[in-house]
Structure 1
Amino acid sequence: MTFQPLFRVGPVRRFTRNLLCPVDLFGHSLLLKYTRNPAEAGEEIHGHARLARHYRVPALHTHLRVPGGHLLAYERLPGGTDQGLLLDLLNTDGPASHLHTYMDQLTAAYQEVILTTAWPADPAHVVRKLYWDRAAPGGRLDTYYAGKEFLIADGLVDIPVSRLNTYALKINGRRHHLDWAATLRWLRAHFATAEPVWAALTQGDPTDVNLAHPLAWFDYDTAGMNSIPGEFANFLWYASVLGGWLVPTYNPTAFADHPAAFTHVPANTPEIRRAAIDHTTSTIHIDYTPRLSAPRRAAVTAYWNKLVRPVADRLWPGEDLANLLRPYLAMRILGVYNLAGLASEDRLVLLARLVEAMSPAFDPTTYFCPLESPCPAP
């Protein structure tokens, strides 16, 4: 007969400013979440309640005020090392049938809820944390970039970012132009308008670690009425850039229980082939090869074809998806990591990606490479 302890505590993990800890208590599997911010705790509790009416979420058993913050006790779903998340389906050498089935379930659930709850909402009434608040005075755009100067790429392109507008940019053979200061002003102005935005009930931060396998949703402080283009940009950017490359590189503790993520970083890391300045023509040349593993490419493809396109056809027939996605994508590029704090090669690639997103020629279907075959070399 195997003895099962009545009380067992697992390892504590830190995710941003929160702590998570698995606990077994009298036969119940719990996940305890500790947060110091009382406002975020309230948003989490409220968001969980709203999401539970439409999506599968683990039960919230109780929430308590404790010294220094709040403690929330959730039902703990099955999982383990390299198990239990969408991340784990992406950390493989090829897209297995499990991933295709999962993406079918994910996109079907989202399509049903989004089309049922979609509404042109006042921006004051949508979840503002990931976009509006970061663009507002004192938000991340200001904290990261206001009055700050840094080089485009130390040792590669030793030109201050503020002088980008004085150079032509030739990226993978295509000519572009970007005014850094004007881009920041445009983003601030875009997210300061009162123009209605199409919003729907979603979790708001659909990352590889916030989506469980079997399908369920975690993390609820951004749950509620979210901008639909913002939801799309968030998943597409995380699946194609953050989850496979930048997050395991700069925030490895987030994947402590999913070490296979680190094995696949090279398959998702862009390669810089050329970075040079032609002073005679005031041209910066950047040639890089995007990389995306086959499972991530399959997930992005399914998300685009089975969710983004059908929803766009219903809600915005005939509208340019590039224009709808551009401000949200630019905010994801600039408002997650401070570009000045990244390695020069990574900063150069992200600036190139920003330039491409801001270009009039921006095409999301090629930008995110939603193709089953590898992205063609430029």
Structure 2
Amino acid sequence: MPALYADRIRPGGRLDTWYQDPSLTVTDTHTGEPIPLPALTGYTATVNDTPLLLDVPAAINAARGALHPDGQWTSAITQGDPTEPNIAASAAGACWLDFEHAGRNTLAGEIANLLWYLLALGGWLVPTYQRDVYHRTLPLHLPPAATPTIEHTELSSRHRRLDLHHTWPTGPGRHTALTRLLDRITTDLGDAAGLPRGRQLHALRSFLTLRILGVIPPHLLNSSDLLLLVAKLAQAQHLTDPTPFTHTDPLSDLATVENP
């Protein structure tokens, strides 16, 4: 699917343009000085007590290699970009609203799209950073109530290290959908997509990389949110144990929000 994957991953395309930009920075918590995001390559990261390696260029190159034009993936006629604004209910069942991307698509890509949408895009990134899209496509566009929160961060350019603790709250409806999706990835849906048993999420890694990095322009993100995104990318490169990537926290207090 050129618009969702090929155009973004090609050399000199969206991901290279966005993430090789030297003006894209995060803040050293010891000195207050900006650190160019590409300089984090090779930093040792500990995210919620799990050691990871930060390497955005390597993740992009791995995705580019896995999703090369001659690759073969199981496909089907699908929605094309399964998100809440693009799916509606009718008496006849679900109907497609995305006329740009609906058609024959890779099942692995569709699964990765929906997974990242449930984890981050739908409840956090789109309503926060794409408010015009959020307001235009959802009649009931409430302010986000479940957004990731950094509880502790220590970023040191001297020690080339990031220590990050965060919570990743999810509301009950999205949590139910996420739980069901993860269950079906390991059963019938994963089988239909041709994902290897026991390594289903690992097989989605390249598609997840494109969704994590290729939707919201990183220069729009504040420093904390950019670190959260990079942390999720690092987790997505280690999906032999998917728990850190897919873990969410219950939303303890759902605030009552008036419809604007």
Q: TM-score, normalised by structure 2?
A: 0.82
- Please state whether the residue corresponding to 1:130 is helix, strand or coil: helix
Residues 1:298 and 2:169 are matched in the alignment:
no
Alpha-carbon distance in 2 for matches of 1:279, 1:256: 39
Q: Is the 8 A contact 1:356 1:362 kept in 2?
A: no
Alpha-carbon distance in 2 for matches of 1:273, 1:360: 24
RMSD of Structure 2 on Structure 1 (CA):
2.7
The structure 2 residue matched to 1:134, chosen from 8, 16, 31, is 8
Alpha-carbon distance in 1 for matches of 2:196, 2:184: 16
- Deviation at residue 259 of structure 1 after TM alignment: 6.3
Residues 1:354 and 2:233 are matched in the alignment:
yes
Alpha-carbon distance in 2 for matches of 1:198, 1:167: 36
- Deviation at residue 357 of structure 1 after TM alignment: 0.6
Q: Is the 8 A contact 1:150 1:340 kept in 2?
A: yes
Q: Is the 8 A contact 2:28 2:156 kept in 1?
A: no
Q: Corresponding residue for 1:374?
A: 250
Q: Corresponding residue for 1:262?
A: 142
- Please state whether the residue corresponding to 2:206 is helix, strand or coil: helix
Q: 1:128 to 1:163 in 2, by over 3 A?
A: same
Opposite residue 13 of structure 2, the aligned amino acid is G
Equivalence map 1:302-313=2 (5 Å): 302-306=180-184, 309-313=187-191
- Deviation at residue 308 of structure 1 after TM alignment: 6.0
- Deviation at residue 301 of structure 1 after TM alignment: 1.7
- Deviation at residue 129 of structure 1 after TM alignment: 1.5
The structure 2 residue matched to 1:168, chosen from 34, 37, 44, is 44
Alpha-carbon distance in 1 for matches of 2:183, 2:240: 21
Q: Is the 8 A contact 1:157 1:277 kept in 2?
A: no
- Deviation at residue 227 of structure 1 after TM alignment: 1.0
1:44-85 superposed Cα distances (whole Å, 9 cap, x missing partner): xxxxxxxxxxxxxxxxxxxxxxxxxxxxxxxxxxxxxxxxxx
- Gaps of at least 5 residues in structure 2 are 252-260
Q: Corresponding residue for 1:336?
A: 215
- Please state whether the residue corresponding to 1:262 is helix, strand or coil: coil
Opposite residue 294 of structure 1, the aligned amino acid is P
Alpha-carbon distance in 1 for matches of 2:100, 2:85: 15
Q: Corresponding residue for 1:246?
A: 125
Q: Corresponding residue for 1:6?
A: none
- Please state whether the residue corresponding to 1:209 is helix, strand or coil: helix
Alpha-carbon distance in 2 for matches of 1:186, 1:366: 20
- Please state whether the residue corresponding to 2:150 is helix, strand or coil: strand
Q: Between the two proteins, what is the percent identity of the paired residues?
A: 33
Q: Is the 8 A contact 2:28 2:157 kept in 1?
A: no
Q: Corresponding residue for 2:167?
A: 289
1:350-375 superposed Cα distances (whole Å, 9 cap, x missing partner): 11111111125441x552348xx839
> Looking at both structures, which has the greater relative contact order when contacts are Cα pairs under 8 Å and sequence separation is at least 6?
2
Alpha-carbon distance in 1 for matches of 2:69, 2:87: 32
- Please state whether the residue corresponding to 2:100 is helix, strand or coil: coil
- Deviation at residue 203 of structure 1 after TM alignment: 1.6
The structure 1 residue matched to 2:149, chosen from 271, 284, 292, is 271
Q: TM-score, normalised by structure 1?
A: 0.58
Q: Is the 8 A contact 1:154 1:344 kept in 2?
A: no
1:140-186 superposed Cα distances (whole Å, 9 cap, x missing partner): 11332345442234767842222223421011111111223222222
Q: Corresponding residue for 2:61?
A: 185
1:259-307 superposed Cα distances (whole Å, 9 cap, x missing partner): 64434x13x2001011113567532111111111111111112233346
1:211-258 superposed Cα distances (whole Å, 9 cap, x missing partner): 112321101211222111100010111122111111111122223364
Q: Corresponding residue for 1:203?
A: 79
- Please state whether the residue corresponding to 1:225 is helix, strand or coil: strand
Q: Is the 8 A contact 1:203 1:222 kept in 2?
A: yes
Q: Is the 8 A contact 2:155 2:161 kept in 1?
A: yes
Q: Corresponding residue for 2:19?
A: 145
Q: Corresponding residue for 2:200?
A: 321
Alpha-carbon distance in 1 for matches of 2:97, 2:82: 9
Q: Rg bigger for which structure?
A: 1
Equivalence map 1:26-105=2 (5 Å): none
Residues paired across the two proteins, number: 245
Q: Corresponding residue for 2:102?
A: 223
Alpha-carbon distance in 1 for matches of 2:182, 2:244: 11
Q: Is the 8 A contact 2:35 2:157 kept in 1?
A: no
Q: Corresponding residue for 1:233?
A: 112
1:115-158 superposed Cα distances (whole Å, 9 cap, x missing partner): xxxxxxxxxxxx22201221013431133234544223476784
Opposite residue 223 of structure 2, the aligned amino acid is S
- Please state whether the residue corresponding to 2:46 is helix, strand or coil: strand
- Please state whether the residue corresponding to 2:61 is helix, strand or coil: helix
Alpha-carbon distance in 1 for matches of 2:37, 2:158: 19
